[in-house]
Amino acid sequence: MSSSSTSTKPLVSTEWVAEHGKDKGIRVVEVDVDPSNYDKGHIEGAAGWNWRKDLQHQLVRDVASKEELATLLGKSGITPDTTIVLYGDNNNWFAAYAYWALKYYGHDKVQLVDGGRVKWEKEGRKYSTDVPSFPATTYHFQGAPREDIRAYKDQVQTKLGKAGLVDVRSPKEYSGELLAPENLPQEGAQRGGHIPTAVSIPWGTAVNTEDGTFKSNEELKEIYGGKGITPDREIIAYCRIGERSAHTWFVLRELLGYDDVRNYDGSWTEWGSSIRLPIEK
C-alpha cells in the first residue's frame, strides 16, 4: 500500500476543482455539518454524503462499518483507483472527518479542497442543484483498518501525561462553561471540562478567517509547537464528537507530516459522560 503523504497531495485549490472536478478518475464529494446545504446548491457534478446517515454507524456509536462505507462508495461510482476530492461547509469539518474515515479504512486517494464552501462562495463560483447519478461500482476495502490514526478511550487514559493531547474545541468548552459549540444545544455530555493534561488549541486557529484556507505550514508549526505539540511526540486530538478533531488531525498529520497523530473520535461526549474518568475544569 502506498502511503498517502507521497502518492496524493492532501490539498487541492478551488481553481483546480473548477477545472478538473469532472475529470475521469476524480469524484468530488460534499459533506456538510448541515446536510441541507448540498440540496440548496453544490459544485457541479459533486456527490453529497450525509455524515449522520452515511458516515456514522446507525446502531452502534462508531464510524460507519467497512461494509457500509464500501456500499456508499459503490453508490457514488467510486473504485479504489478513484481520487475522492472532499469539501464542505464550516471550513470542511465533516469533509475532514470523511477524509479521516476513508484513510482509516484504507482509501488513500483522497484530497480536501482548501477553503471548502467558504472559499468557493467568496470567489463567486457557481453552484448547481442537479443531483448527479453515477454508474454503480462494487467497492471493497483491502486490508484491516488503520488503527494507528485512531484513539480509543482506554488508550487515552493510559497516555495521560505522556502523549500530547489537543483539545480543539472552543475555549468555553475547554473550561467547562459550555458542553457544545455556542450555536448548538448544550447537550451531549454529563460533565463539562477537558481531559487532564490536554492543551487548548481551537481547530479554527489553523485556518485563515477570510477564506477558510489553511494557514502556512510555518504558521501552523508555530501555533502547535508553541503549545508543546511537536512532531517527536505521540499526539491525540479530540473535540466533542470527532469531526473538529479530524480537522486538526488533518493539519498535523497530512499537512505537517507528524508521524504519530490519532483522532479520538469518541471525544468529549464519551469522556465527559464516562464513569470515573478524570476531568479538569
The CATH number covering residue 194 comes to 3.40.250.10
Supply the pLDDT for residue 190: 87
| Cα–Cα distance for residue pair 92/118, rounded to 1 Å | 9
**56-87 tens-digit pLDDT:** 998 899 999 999 999 999 999 999 999 999 99
Q: Is 189 helix (H, G, I), strand (E, B) or coil?
A: coil
Would residue 113 show up in a list of annotated catalytic residues for this protein? no
State the average pLDDT over residues 205-217.
97
Angle at 12 between CA 6 and CA 16, to 5 degrees: 125
State the catalytic residue, choosing from 239, 246, 252, 261. Answer: 239
Q: Does residue 157 share a domain with residue 128? A: no
State the average pLDDT over residues 252-280.
96
Does the structure show a pLDDT above 50 at 2?
A: no
| Residue where a domain stops, chosen among 122, 145, 168 | 145
| Cα–Cα distance for residue pair 195/266, rounded to 1 Å | 12
260 compared with 189, residue with greater pLDDT: 260
| Residue where a domain stops, chosen among 145, 168, 197 | 145
Residue 260 lies in a domain: yes
Residue 276 lies in a domain: no
Provide the number of structural domains found in the chain.
2
Residue 7 binned pLDDT confidence (cut-offs 50, 70, 90) = low
7 compared with 33, residue with greater pLDDT: 33
CA-based nearest residue to 271, from 181, 203, 162, 173: 173
The total number of residues shown for the chain amounts to 281
What domain range is 54 assigned to? 4-145
